[in-house]
Amino acid sequence: MVGAGIGGLAAARALALRGAEVTVLEQAEAIREVGAGLQISPNGFAVLRALGLADALRAAGVQGQAVSLRDYRKGEVARLDLTRLDSRDYYFLHRADLIEVLAEGARAAGVRIRFLQKVDRIEPGARPAVHLSNGAVLEADLVIGADGLHSKARQALNGTVAPFFTRQVAWRAVVPNVEGRGPEARVDMGPLRHVVSYPLREGRLLNVVAVQERAAWTKESWSQRDDPMALCAAFQDFGPQVRDLLAQIDEVYLWGLFRHPVADNWHAGGVALLGDAAHPTLPFMAQGACMALEDAWALADCLAGDGALETRLTRYQARRAQRAKRVVEAASGNAWKYHLSFPPLRWAAHSVLRAGGRFAPERMMRQFDWIYGYDVTADP
């Protein structure tokens, strides 16, 4: 397994629980406090439950109750009641906490996690090989590329396809929850910008992601810092609640949002892809981690089936590719809805949301059923 991220660790535990011998190679020197908040919706939680990690996850997360959709100056427009979902298992989590739960779960199942193992190249073949940057070459029966956005495994199977810049950048930060926000996510929507915020770690922290449309290109990286003043300046016409929230930030990261096509080939020559390596997803449906978890389960399940290795991997791709494409497309199509800049259009859109929230709250939630209501662990 290449990559001790969310998909890699989940797949490692799933495979080890089925009797496989699994080694995870991770470039980082340790499981570190990198990243900020993630949302785990019921479809992702179903995998964690099936992996026996539900209690650990519940202890680490904040159970989400609602999503408040807000106009950037006037406040709440509509409210999505997460308690109306068939499963109440919707959690806000720090990425580091989820990684910790998964890493412990993987180790407990017998998985070896090796740090400081940067993979340079993967060579598919009868006996696939992994070339490390320290010169070592490792062989295995199967190499799983769970190496995220800039995947070497994807490159080996699909070549290099340049992603395109969406003309959107996102800042992310974590601040103390001084306003005492309850277990709800807020989306403050303004022209060409929006801010998403929700509580983490027993409500002690708030995760903040602020998105802006702009022409200037920014690197696609989780570790690039920016000046907090630049963020405040970009949202200075938002209402006082948002401005106060952003004013608290003293450390902020900026990343460019790029669209990548879903990989054509998810496997070949004993190498398989999962998670962001196969289908990087924009953050607008908060599904990147959940899709990686679903892939992890489906891959382990297919590998436990009959037939030659490549037949089992073909079954895996068939089971996952269409759903992954649909989610990636839904996420890509969502940003403009938050960013309407023409005031009459924004007014009309917010009126529809307001009416939907007031008169048809059930219907508003049902539109997400195809994502949240899906349980990959119950899908043969």
> Which residue from 71, 89, 97, 276 is in contact with ligand FAD, where contact means CB under 6 A?
276
Amino acid at position 284, single letter: F
Q: Which two tokens stand for residue 193?
A: 């910008």
Residue 80 or 282 having the CB closest to ligand FAD: 282
Residue 375 three-state SS: coil
> Which residue from 1, 8, 62, 197 is in contact with ligand FAD, where contact means CB under 6 A?
8
Judged by CB under 6 A, the number of residues near ligand FAD is 32
250, with CB counted inside 10 A (0-12, 13-18, 19+), is exposed
Closest distance to ligand FAD from the beta carbon of 19 (Å): 22
Q: Are 203 and 64 in contact (CB under 8 A)?
A: no
26 binds ligand FAD (CB under 6 A): yes
Residues 6+ apart with CB under 8 A from 316: 266, 267, 272, 298, 299, 302, 303
Whose tokens are 């490692």? That residue is 12
Contact letters for ligand FAD, residues 211-250 (x by CB under 6 A): -----------x----------------------------
Residue 112 or 354 having the CB closest to ligand FAD: 112
Residue 49 or 172 having the CB closest to ligand FAD: 172
148 binds ligand FAD (CB under 6 A): yes
Q: Are 211 and 168 in contact (CB under 8 A)?
A: yes
Question: Which residues are tagged catalytic?
Answer: 198
The angle formed by the CA atoms of residues 361, 362 and 366, to the nearest 5 degrees, is 120
> Which residue from 14, 60, 67, 146 is in contact with ligand FAD, where contact means CB under 6 A?
146
Residue 359 three-state SS: helix
154 binds ligand FAD (CB under 6 A): no
Q: Which two tokens stand for residue 334?
A: 């969502």
Q: Are 206 and 245 in contact (CB under 8 A)?
A: yes
Contact letters for ligand FAD, residues 309-348 (x by CB under 6 A): ----------------------------------------
Q: Are 149 and 280 in contact (CB under 8 A)?
A: yes
Residue 77 or 143 having the CB closest to ligand FAD: 143
Beta bridge partner(s), residue 114: 25
Taking CB under 6 A as the binding criterion, the range among 66-74, 281-289, 316-324, 342-350 that sits at the site for ligand FAD is: 281-289
- Point out which residues bind ligand FAD (CB under 6 A): 2-8, 25-28, 34-36, 38, 95, 117-119, 146-148, 152, 172, 222, 275-277, 283, 288-289, 292
